[in-house]
Amino acid sequence: MNAVVIGCGRTGSAVAKGLADGGWDVTVVDESEDALTRLGVGWRGGFVVGHGMDTSVLERAGVAEADAAVVSTDGDNTNIVIGQVLRLRYEIPTVVVRILDPFRAAFYAEREMQTVCPTQTAISALLDTVRANAPRPSTA
């Protein structure tokens, strides 16, 4: 199974390594060649330097044969556009898009996009932790 990961920051690189450990053939795309070091010396997968908006870069990364894609650059709008290009133009069956802004994440989740919103996850976790540990405020 082939996977493409767009954006090799802390999140993207860890997702790429996790998928590779699970037996996926993974190719990573990042604008900066330095990002390759985040994948570690033992990285056996592919690595393409370039911008994910550039279809020639996407095609070199093998999006035409990909079974899954993770889009996790540091720009919400960049991720939203690339995610739609991967799903609609290259017809990748599973495309997961990271969107930090909860409102945009919700908007696109309602429109056939598989989104992950780390901000919303943090908000929920923080609220749950406080509710579970703190005494209830009086409602008087």
Q: Which is nearer to other proteins, 19 or 63 (CB)?
A: 63
- Could you tell me which of 33, 26, 98 has the C-alpha nearest to residue 63? 26
Query: Judged by CB under 8 A, which stretch of 15-23, 35-43, 77-85, 115-123 contacts other proteins?
Result: 77-85
Cα torsion 104, 106, 112, 115: sign: positive
Buried b (16+ CB within 10 A) or exposed e, 78-105: bbbebbbbbbeebebeebbbbbeebebb
- Which of residues 25, 36, 50, 84 is near other proteins by CB under 8 A? 84
31 binds other proteins (CB under 8 A): no
77 binds other proteins (CB under 8 A): yes
Closest separation in Å from C-beta 11 to other proteins: 19
57 binds other proteins (CB under 8 A): no
Rg, Å, the chain Cα set: 17
Segment 96 to 125, residues that bind other proteins, using CB under 8 A: 101, 103-104, 107, 111
Closest separation in Å from C-beta 40 to other proteins: 30
88 binds other proteins (CB under 8 A): yes
Where do the H-state alpha helices sit in the chain? Answer: 10-21, 55-60, 76-88, 102-109, 118-133
Rounded Cα distance, 29 and 55, in Å: 12
55 binds other proteins (CB under 8 A): yes
Rounded Cα distance, 89 and 43, in Å: 29
Residues that bind other proteins (CB under 8 A): 53-55, 75-78, 80-81, 84-85, 88-89, 101, 103-104, 107, 111
